[in-house]
Structure 1
Amino acid sequence: MSVPRPIDQPTHRPHLNSSRLAMPLPVLLALLCALHAPASSASTATYSLSPGQSLAGDDKLVSSGGKFALGFIQIPGSDSNPSGSGGNSTQLGIWFSLNRVPKLTLVWVANRGGSPVAGAASPELTISGDGNLVIVDRGKVAWSTRADVTANNNNNNRTVLLLLDTGNLVLRSASNASDVMWQSFDHPTDTLLPGATIGLDKVTGRSRRLVSRKNRIDQAPGAYSMELGRSGVVQMLWDASVPYWSSGEWNGDYFSSVPEMTARHLIGSTFVNDDREVSFAYHLLDETITMYSFLDVSGQRKMLVWQDATRDWVTVYVHPTTQCEVHAVCGPFTACDDSAPAPCSCMKGFSVGSPEDWDLDDRSTSGCRRNTQLNCASISNGTMVGMADMFYAMPAVRLPYNPHSAAGYVASAAECEQVCLSNCSCTAYSFGSGGCSMWHGGLLNVKQRQIDGASSSGDGEILHIRLAAKEFRTRKNNSVVIILVAIGAGLNALVILVLVVVLRRTRRNKRYSETLDKIHGGSGLVSFRYSDLRRATRDFSEKIGAGGFGSVFKGSLNDSTTIAVKRLYGCYQQEKQFRAEVSSIGILHHTNLVKMVGFCCEGDKKLLVYEHMPNSSLDAHLFRSSAKALNWRTRYQIALGVARGLAYLHESCLDYIIHCDIKPQNILLDALFVPKIADFGMAKLLTRDFSRVMTTTRGTIGYLAPEWISGVAITPKVDVYGYGMVLLEIISGRMNANEECGSSGDGIVYFPIQMARKLLEGNVMSFVDDRLNGDVIVDEVERACKVACWCIQDREFERPTMGKVVQILEGLVEVDTPPMPKLLEAIAGRSHSACT
């Protein structure tokens, strides 16, 4: 495995030599959806790249006027990451210089349709032997301009790459500026900069169009595109085939549907439509302003201008003007309402398909999915088994996209319903003046129409959505309560007292019912009352764990849902622990993170409620002699699951989260031995504007990275170190901090070095837990040992990211033999001497 470059190299003066172009790049690990980055502290006039030079790591090209920068940038949590792990990927991109626009704004990326570069190895941008611009990753060409350079320039050594002040990346002859072999303006992504064109070459058929990105993070092509066709009209398309907006014809000054083009006197336009091409470009009338246009993830084309006073982008105009006019913007089985704060919502009987996608503004991909499957398939010999499906009437809507007319004559709404009900693929119908219309599959483009802020059946059509009969069941009324309320006024004080008792019990049951609905529906944290938790835990009678900040008790709610309740103690630490856990884990949802159900905060009573893990913590299975030994397959899946959970915390959250105390005691196992990272009381939140943070030493001896002891600012790599120690313990079944020789206290942290030596000797099998009796997969053992040794390297930048660890353990990336961790080797040497 190649050693990763440190992410916090000091800024240095750029210099140019025969082998490398070295320039500073501000730390660009900020999440792209936040688009915040610190202003660059240094500027440079170096804006070209010649043969023999390369751009890598934190190097960058800056345009001559300092408007734009080019370099490699990390894309956190990108779905296009070839590993599929959700870890960081690297792409070559152009953005507005942070000196001009101190809010990271990408305007172009290379290799958009392919796989981004992923891995600890640093990719390089260089000019190849044939004169093309290439990205080389681990010795292989990951991307190339593929221009016919030799036909235009016989001397490839004179080819030069320049980043112009227009934001155009140009590969041309060094001696002839008009001899352009390739330029980024011919290959736009989602952004149209001033001076760039969209259009169609009528001779070759080549089109220059904009394509939205997949979501706020992922730069891969999305569902929406904008193009200028032969008719001379700009169209926006969904899935490259369904038009949903048109600019109208060019009238000599502007497109007829876009009068805003001239209203603000900010831009001038150039429109060409002849035998060779049809094209459109715009230019700034005031060169002091910073402006650009792009096709947003939402499917809307937006024109923005930078405002120094607010240090933010300001919208000039948007098309289409309303979100609900964008085709399929909310995805299947949704309704769009432009008057609502959040325009997209799920239809009755449906829930959000992928909350992760929705959080990143990609709703069109997953939309909503059924809560209960239809019963249509339950037909035997023509007889329905169970209850038939039913229909929910949704009034005042714009009907979905792509309706189908019912075969034959349908005279009434009841007949239309029966026709739909008899077809298992029919998901909705509508009966009106146009007859019987039906829809199959996902329902797209349903828009909720509003009158005076309320839905009205008098405006729009009525859509009948097919649902399982179970969706129409309602809770039975509490007849006892109704009778008692009706006769309560005529009863004496005793009856009134009974009524009060009944009502209190009913409210308590209702509160429990609502609480259970929240727990099982995943609708957020539940605020418990202390008395409820005391009752659920039988007055905190069954203690199942304890830590430095409190004890954990097993409890049960009314529906037999088992919970774990952590009761915190210690005044200051109690408050600190409570805030740390709620703020870090309370809003997270991941298979390998323990789920927080809710909390209680009443005065000095601070309690946290989690899902219960029936198989306790990992240390109980690794270190207790009475426990049944975990087999190798289970151990490997636990190691992979913990790595995925940490990768999510480090690379996919809105704010980076450093756990700070990774150890077997904080890894819980559910009924299927799926690992869940727990105990976030020491966690540290790191905003994406920063790559490291200063904090007091925290964690457990034996799992502490060297930087904790040295007192420097920490990064997520401290968790990587702790994970490496845990991985060694999973393999060996022994504690890394065990003392080998009595009470000397000098024998800790010995097994990691023992394993590292055996790894270098090619004898890792002797390090495997004896209880496994050799029943392991040798390749996985060697892979895990190598990963563990890379994770416990002394210098943090030599350790891999957790996203890289996931890729290696999944077998997607090969890993080299790591060097011996020198600091641990020295400690082990002293320990061995003391024991001798």
Structure 2
Amino acid sequence: MKLENLKLDMCRERAEVYGLEEGETAQQPNGSVSIGSSLTATPDANPWLSSSGEFAFGFQQVQGKDNFLLSIWYEKIPNKTIIWYPQGGPTVSPGSKVDLVDRRGLVLSDPQGKEVWSSNSISDLAYGYMNDTGNFVIMGSNSLSVWDSFDHPTDTMLPTQVMLRGGVINSKMSQMNFTRGRFQLRMLQDGNLVLNTRDMITGSPDNAYYISDTFDASNSTNSGDQLIFDATGYMYILRRNGVRSNLTQDSIPSGDYYHRATLDSDVAIYRDNQCWKKQLPLKNGYKDPAFNVKALLKFRKIDGPPETGENRSGTKDKSRRSLIFIGSALLGMSMLVIVVLIVVIYVCFVPIQKKKAVNLPSNSTVETNLHRFTYQELVKATNGFKDELGKGAFGIVYKGVIGTKIVAVKRLEGVLQDGQKEFKNEVNTIARTHHKNLVQLLGYCDDSEQQLLIYEYMSKGTLALFLFGETRPSWKQRSYIALGVAKGLAYLHEDCSNQIIHCDIKPQNILLDDYYNAKIADFGLAKLLMINQSRTNTGIRGTKGYVAPEWFRNTPVKFKVDVYSFGVLLLEIISCRKSVVFEDDTEDVAVLTDLAWDCYQEGRLDMFVNNDLEALNDFEKLTAYIMIGLWCVHENPSMRPTMKKVIQMLEGGIQVTEPPCPCPVSVTS
């Protein structure tokens, strides 16, 4: 599991590294801030700078132009990396202010003057200052520090920073979500430094997956006392007797460079001739000793200064360099020849293949008795494709009218080679399926380069719009929809003539009719299975957040991938929460399954449904539905129920047993 943004930064200060000339003056030469000073959250506001100008304290825009975060950041690097912010990462709107107030310290307030956060420095204050280590310090009238940001860390430690026993660093939820995440680095009272996940509901720590083993039960003076990150880049635990236990294994080379050590390594496990990336049997940096495997770490090669030293230019090194040079030249020539041949083949062969694809007999694409429309008929029906309903994986869907019937016309784009195959797959598959919880295919068009599909029109739109709109749907409607989706999937898996794996179950592919009957749509990603097959090999398909773990293991997949996706969908239907948080220029962060497990474990189902009284009044069904969802999203496919069994559990026909943790992981003791 990825450790989001829990990072340890090591810095060699030099102006050229950050893109400024040496001698360039900072905005505030001494970095001091007088009592009564304030900053306003605006895009062009000047921050409070350290004397060197390396660090800045102020407001940064995050998650769009209307959200600001009070923070400290590296001012002289392009991406302005944030290294401190108030616990919980409260974002504020434009016009918010932070004031340095006597006997209060830093006070953050919104545009209406309501206090959002404060440092609570209850003392007579003299001034504050942003120092050149990245620490914002508030000094008292007695010339002693009464508050500093180093004593209240968030997700980052900097050189010269110390963590005492009882100290903790929390990861943030995601790259641009600064609320507390799932991971912690803690210095325990017994002297151990640990890494652990935490319960998202109670905040209490789970079992540690890394322990420094610096607790000595037989001699308390030999136990750890504080974690120190010194100015030279060494990180170590200082024991109570003054002995150091190094955490940084290798020496940090001196030089004018910016170093960063991150706890999020690129790692894979090699076992049984397969590569397992960032998943079991290795997660959270811990490998279960029961597995006989090799760990492979990927290191980025970084250009650095030329090495210096004696006896580095011997005859053996020269010979090796000569061989490398000759081998590289030969390899380069070979690659050039191969590239030229590929280009020639592409230029000569692809146009012929395109011509063949265009001239395919249209009758050969479909083996059904569906009504076939001409392209011009559909142009007229859609009024020139003007009313767009939405976009699918292989094209755009438009609203149209044929006779007196409203229809949805899906226009496939770029249908050549693989697209022709997808077109045949979609038409032949859907035409053979008949179920009230599946979208009905009414016809098709296959005119030369134009391929279109005509579906029944769903007046209530997608389940995504229904679930995540401004008004929360009723619990009765949501549970009815969940059962309908389950019945549609069960039909695809077990009751139609050829078993079908949908591969892309998500709210956007569930449509609702006038009576809120759920109908599964978009078979463009479906994979037909022959009667005597139960597994299929194919590339990874589906949508992030709904894709089962086995897709990434390069192994044949079963229909249980749809069960996993349904489990995620069911949890979304129950909670009216999105399973994945999408952020600009960052990875997608899936949090709903973790939240569901934590709420279930802590008995806080009210939190999961955001105090939905209708759902809470139907507590037995609510509990059962959450348990079913947790069974469906289990990491092990064999632990997931079939859709037939899911229906029986949803209808109350069979009892739902206690679900295990959906993502079990070994931990240290």
Q: TM-score, normalised by structure 2?
A: 0.43
